[in-house]
């Protein structure tokens, strides 16, 4: 579990003088602590992964925003942090595997129009259990329902 190792990982980053890893581990530790306080119970593995996913999404959004304003140095730092956070996440599903699941979900509910997209995404997200990013699922479902 992530919370069990976070202190050790912070120490390792300090010893290696890896500033980006150190700051990322500290931010992750803080986010996990905030979630622990909010939930009022020790976080299980899925809750910890959800915190990491939220932090990774923040980095992806920041990368897009920094690139939009041509702040490439800041975008690069966010990309480095994102790579570190992705070490804690399960590997992403391939597009072909995801397409099979999206097609199955569309058949399952008989989706034929854009108003069914939310239902399709919900089914796919349940089946993929964090191995497919929501934006990828949304794009693929949208392309199938147009």
Give every CB contact of residue 29 below 8 A, 6+ residues apart in sequence. 6, 7, 10
Average pLDDT over residues 54-64: 94
Fold annotation for 95-145 = Arc Repressor Mutant, subunit A (1.10.10)
C-alpha 94/C-alpha 66 separation (Å) is 27
Average pLDDT over residues 124-132: 86
**Which region, left, alpha or beta, applies to residue 40 given φ > 0 means left and ψ of -120 to 50 means alpha?**
left
Q: Quick check: 146 pLDDT over 90?
A: no
Residue 120, token pair as written in the block: 């399709």
For residue 85, how far is the Cα from the chain centroid? 9
Total-model pTM: 0.78
pLDDT of 113 reads 83
Band of residue 14 on the pLDDT scale cut at 50, 70, 90? very high
Residue 142: half-sphere exposure toward Cβ, Cα within 13 Å: 6
Q: Quick check: 66 pLDDT over 90?
A: yes
- In the chain, domain spans: 2-86, 95-145
Residue 4, token pair as written in the block: 């069990």
Each residue of 79-95: pLDDT tens digit?
Answer: 999 999 999 988 888 88
Phi, psi (degrees; rounded to nearest 5) at 90: -65, 155
Fold annotation for 2-86 = Hypothetical Protein Yqey; Chain: A; domain1 (1.10.1510)
Give every CB contact of residue 11 below 8 A, 6+ residues apart in sequence. none
Q: Quote the mean pLDDT of the chain.
A: 91
Average pLDDT over residues 67-72: 95
Q: Quick check: 112 pLDDT over 90?
A: no
């Amino acid at each position: 579990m992530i919370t069990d190792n976070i202190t050790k990982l912070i120490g390792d980053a300090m010893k290696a003088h890896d500033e980006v890893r150190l700051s990322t581990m500290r931010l992750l530790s803080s986010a996990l602590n905030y979630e622990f306080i909010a939930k009022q119970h020790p976080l299980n593995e899925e809750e910890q992964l959800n915190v990491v996913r939220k932090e990774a999404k923040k980095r992806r959004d920041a990368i897009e925003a920094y690139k939009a304003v041509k702040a490439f140095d800041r975008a690069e730092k966010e990309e480095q942090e994102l790579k570190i956070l992705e070490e804690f996440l399960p590997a992403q599903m391939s597009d072909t595997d995801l397409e099979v699941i999206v097609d199955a979900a569309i058949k399952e509910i008989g989706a034929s129009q854009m108003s069914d997209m939310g239902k399709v995404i919900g089914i796919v997200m349940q089946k993929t259990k964090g191995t497919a990013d929501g934006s990828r699922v949304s794009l693929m479902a949208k392309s199938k329902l147009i």
